[in-house]
A and B are shown apart, each in its own frame.
Chain A
Amino acid sequence: LAKTTQPISMDSYEGQEVNITCSHNNIATNDYITWYQQFPSQGPRFIIQGYKTKVTNEVASLFIPADRKSSTLSLPRVSLSDTAVYYCLYGGATNKLIFGTGTLLAVQP
């Protein structure tokens, strides 16, 4: 199973940078690492995806070390609206991706 380990919850304040790290020790050569965001009573939404090194888009950055056994999602200057659950996933096929309990990020004013 493509199981990941990430903190259950994190607290932050508005304007801070938040880094959420995920462990995926069993990642295979062809697996991509994907992060999703979920707000209450909504479906998860794609944030960012990467294979190695660093990926950046308009909302986040993803850092993946050379061994690819972990990844770090970086959210710059978070706001209250970034309060959500963040899921880290990897796997060989979409039907094998496991959405665990994720990390509940609480941003305070």
Chain B
Amino acid sequence: SQTIHQWPATLVQPVGSPLSLECTVEGTSNPNLYWYRQAAGRGLQLLFYSVGIGQISSEVPQNLSASRPQDRQFILSSKKLLLSDSGFYLCAWSAGSFSGNTIYFGEGSWLTVV
């Protein structure tokens, strides 16, 4: 069966520090991968999605970036965090791009920028 893992689960980072969140998917190949962010009491905002290695699409301009160095690995990064980057970050995958595909989410990572 397919599983998705992301880490770390929680982190507290000072303003201006770098960020790296990692996500891996097991049990499937060539998945679509996604990074979402959820602010407290808000809906999910799609940040990045990828349909293949090295192929990243950014949905929202910001100081975050994403990379997909391997088929089932997706990394969210920042060189300098802002207070507004605080939130709940979710990695997800789907088998394809058609909206009929189910999106499977990881456990989430809580980021607090102080």
Contacts and interface: CB of A to CB of B under 8 A. Distances in A.
Interface in B30-51: 32, 34, 36, 41-44, 46, 49
Interface residues of A, number: 26
Interface residues of B, number: 29
Contacts, number: 66
B103 A94 contact: yes
A49 interface: yes
A91 B105 contact: no
B108 to A, nearest CB: 6
Nearest to B46: A95
B7 interface: no
B12 to A, nearest CB: 16
A41 B98 contact: no
Given A49-B102, A94-B94, A94-B98, A102 B43 contact: yes
A31 B102 contact: no
